Every structure is written in C-alpha cells, then in structure tokens.
Homo-oligomer: A and B are copies of this chain.
Amino acid sequence: MKKYVLPLVILTGYAPALADVKAPEPNLAYQIVEGLTTEVGQRLAGTEAEARARDWGVAKLKALGFANVHIEPYDMPVWVRGAETAEVVVPYPQKLALTALGNSGATPEVGLSAEVIAFSSLAELKSAPDAAIKGKIVYVTHQMMGTQDGSSYGYFGPVRFIGPSIAAKKGAAAYLLRSLGTNEHRVPHTGVTDWEKGVAPIPAAALSVPDAENIDRMLARAGQPIVIHLTLTPKFTGTHTSGNVIAEVPGSDPAAGIVVIGGHLDSWDLGTGAIDDGAGVAITTAAAHRLLAGSPPKRTIRVVWWGSEEEGGFGSDAYFKAHRTEKHVMAAESDFGADRVWAFSTKVPDSANSFTDRLATALAPLGIVADKRAAHGGADVEKLIEAGAAVVDLRQDGTHYFDIHHTADDTLDKIDPAQMQQNVEAWAVFLKLAANAPEDFIAKSRAGVVAK
C-alpha cells in the first residue's frame, strides 16, 4: 500500500484541533508486543534471552522518550528445562505430550518407569495412605473451566502449586497433572511448583489436556495397572543475573509521590510470551506514553517491566528493597492477557472514594463497569500495596486466557489488536486521573510504613 499523504488544505484547516487532541502513535501497544515477540521471543527469567529483552526494552523506552530509563539488576537461581518425554508402556503403548513444571526435579537420564496412581482431586491425594503412593507416579486430574474473572485458576491452582510437594512427602516417584488449562490442544501448560521446605523435589510435569483425557479413558478400562516411562531432565544452573527495566513520565510535583504501573518482562520458555506478559508490558507502556505529550502530570508515573515474575517475584523483591522508602501512592499491574477490560476495582482510603467515582464515570464509555470487590493488584506490586499504596485493577476478560497461558501457544497471533487498544485507552484514562488526583491515596494507618 502506498503511504497515504493527508492533503495540505485539510492539515492546515484542522491543525489547531489536531494539536489539541494529538493522536497517539497508532497501536503502539501492539507494536511493542510485536517487536518483543519477534525480535526476542521467550524470555525465561535469569537467562541470556531475558537479558536481551531488557536491552531491547531500554532501547525502545528511550526511543519513545521516557525519562530515567535504566535496568536494575539482581541475582536469582535459574531453573532450565531439559529433555521431557513420556509414554504409556502398559497396557496401551502411546507417547504423551507433557512439559516439566518450573522447579521440577529430574528423573535419571534414562528415565524411570512406574505404575500410575490416579486421584480426581488434591483432597483425595492428601487423604491417601503413603503406602499406596510410595514409588508410584501420582496423577491428579481435575476439571478447570474458563471463567471471565479467572477465578477457576485460584480454585484449581493448588493441583499444580502444591500437589507435587504433597506427593513427594508421601514417597511418590513422580507427579503428573492434567494441565491447568482450558484448551484441547497438545500444548501442555507449564508453571512454577513450590516445594515445602525440606522436601526433595521429584519430577513433576503437566500432561496436555488431550493426553490427560486419554489416560483417564485408560484408567476407566482398569483391569490392569498403567505403567508410564517418564524422562525429565531439568536442572538449576546456579545463580544468574535478572533485572527490572524502569522508565518514567516525570511528574511536576516530587512530593506528590509515584504511581507505579507495568507488566512482567520475563516469560515462560515454551511460547514467545505474547499474552503473558508481553501484552501487559505493552499496554501499560503505551498508556503511559500518552502522558509524555503535553503538560506533565502532577505525580511521576513509573513504568516497571518486572523481571522474573514467573519464578516467584525476585524482581519485585529487589525493587521493594531498593525503593521502599519512596512515596508510592498507587500501584497497578497488567498481567492477564490482552482481551478487553470489562470491570475495574479499587482499594483506596475512604477519603479517596470520590476518585473511584470519577474513575467509574471515565471508564464507563469504554464498556467498563465498577466491581465492588477490593482490588488486589498483581504479584509484582503486592509488597507495595501491603506497605500502603492504593491499588486499581483493570480487569480483563479471562474466558480464554487459560487456553494459552504458559504454553507454546502463547504467540502474537493470539492478541486481538482492537481489544488490546481498548486496554490502552482504559489505562490512559486511569493514569491521567490517578497521576493528577488531589486525593492523598496513602492510608493514614500505613503512611508510617511507606515513609520508613
């Protein structure tokens, strides 16, 4: 397509009006996530790929005109994926599609073979006698379905978060779960699992949903034991450098405090980190970019591209350690994909309730309703909120988020640019209000903590 040249007569005629409502760079958010997924791709925390992503981010944020663009490095232990194969050996030989959970232990290089013992829930596993589990491959299934607010992930999540540790304590040889996912594709869902202190990690992996259903059908036939041969060789490679990328829209009043927003830059290693969380990085950056033009906001807007969210928040820990004494008045994170925002919620002192009312009025034209439940922020801003910062959630539609979450399918094509752009509009509306609001958002009871 030839480049379109606006006729000069129109440009002249409308110049003042255009300057007044200066159009932002079109689809900047999509451009950012397109660049990050194409030019970097997966960005597992603490790896060379995440380092490339940080450099990419610094160059991009500087080019966009942000102030104070820099990397704040920290160290973290780094877990990397190895070989991962599995097959049913008895009674119906078949290969299985699966992927190791983050922090999974390893099998011997040649793998291990063991009988499967199946549970339909974590409660069933917990109540089983150790003798029944010892030396076996524990398999836990469940029926997570998509919900608009993503709440099913919280309900079913422990199957991944703590199931392996429970099985390890009971002497299991390995742990398999049906992916915490809502799709029907042979792309298993990874994600971190947490080992209780003192528990030696066992091999732990997620089967794709179709593979889990195949095992379920084999189990339903019963008659003889099911034996699986499993090879997983992930490992910790030692301590390496990760980091947060920081950029600012400088505020006019240093005493007014900081509004912290962002998404996480790191991703799981299977896809290209488009919806998790290239989208959050892109949406919040594009929204903050709107406020770079024209007169500065009262408060500084600090955009953080958080490092290592997936492995447990080493990035947010490092940030909190370095910045806790600064006046963070409000914090928000975008980390739930790129589908449209359908609701918002806040957690502000009673003295700032009129801010919530103004926000409701400003977001309504974008199809966003007020949700009376308190906002909780994202994993990366938890500590800031505990320390007294107010918080706003812009809640995205999560109905299809867990079709893709933590899989090889997390690629650019899953993002709808139009829905992503609605997110940018919503965040820009929120930022403009939050950065200029006359209210002091910090709860009086918590002001001391923040000032410490």
* Stretch from A69-77, A182-190, A259-267 that touches the partner: A182-190
- Please tell me if A92 contacts chain B, counting CB pairs below 8 Å: yes
Judging by beta carbons under 8 Å apart, are A411 and B186 in contact?
yes
Judging by beta carbons under 8 Å apart, are A413 and B210 in contact?
yes
- Please tell me if A157 contacts chain B, counting CB pairs below 8 Å: no
Residues of B near A221 (CB, < 8 A) are 38-39
- Please tell me if A37 contacts chain B, counting CB pairs below 8 Å: yes
Bound-state Cα–Cα, A210 to B187, Å: 13
Judging by beta carbons under 8 Å apart, are A187 and B186 in contact?
yes
Of the candidates B97, B213, B407, B413, which one forms a contact with A213 in the assembled complex, judged by CB atoms under 8 Å apart? Answer: B413
Across the interface, name the chain B residue whose C-beta is closest to A216: B38
Judging by beta carbons under 8 Å apart, are A186 and B408 in contact?
yes
Q: List A81-102 residues whose CB lies under 8 Å from chain B.
A: 91-95, 97
Residues of B near A209 (CB, < 8 A) are 413
Of residues A37, A185, A409, which shows the largest number of chain B Cβ atoms within 10 Å of its Cβ?
A185
Across the interface, name the chain B residue whose C-beta is closest to A407: B186
Of the candidates B40, B93, B210, B271, which one forms a contact with A186 in the assembled complex, judged by CB atoms under 8 Å apart? Answer: B271
- Please tell me if A41 contacts chain B, counting CB pairs below 8 Å: yes
Of the candidates B34, B37, B91, B185, which one forms a contact with A187 in the assembled complex, judged by CB atoms under 8 Å apart? Answer: B185
Residues of B near A38 (CB, < 8 A) are 92, 214, 217-218, 221
Bound-state Cα–Cα, A93 to B214, Å: 35
Number of copies: 2
Bound-state Cα–Cα, A411 to B216, Å: 14
What count of chain A residues pass the 8 Å CB interface test? 35
Bound-state Cα–Cα, A186 to B213, Å: 20
Bound-state Cα–Cα, A42 to B186, Å: 14
**Chain A 409-437 near chain B by CB (<8 Å), digits 1 or 0:** 10111100000000000000000000000
- Please tell me if A272 contacts chain B, counting CB pairs below 8 Å: yes
Residues of B near A366 (CB, < 8 A) are none
Judging by beta carbons under 8 Å apart, are B184 and A413 in contact?
yes
**Chain A 370-414 near chain B by CB (<8 Å), digits 1 or 0:** 000000000000000000000000000000000000011101111
With A94-B42, A272-B94 given, is the CB distance from A214 to B412 under 8 Å? yes
Judging by beta carbons under 8 Å apart, are B185 and A409 in contact?
yes
With A185-B187, A187-B185 given, is the CB distance from A210 to B40 under 8 Å? no
Bound-state Cα–Cα, A40 to B95, Å: 11
Shortest beta-carbon distance, A436 to chain B, in Å?
38
Residues of B near A352 (CB, < 8 A) are none
**Chain A 189-231 near chain B by CB (<8 Å), digits 1 or 0:** 0000000000000000000011001100110010000000000
The 4 A-B residue pairs with the shortest CB-CB distance in the complex, in nearest-first order: A41-B94, A186-B408, A210-B411, A38-B217
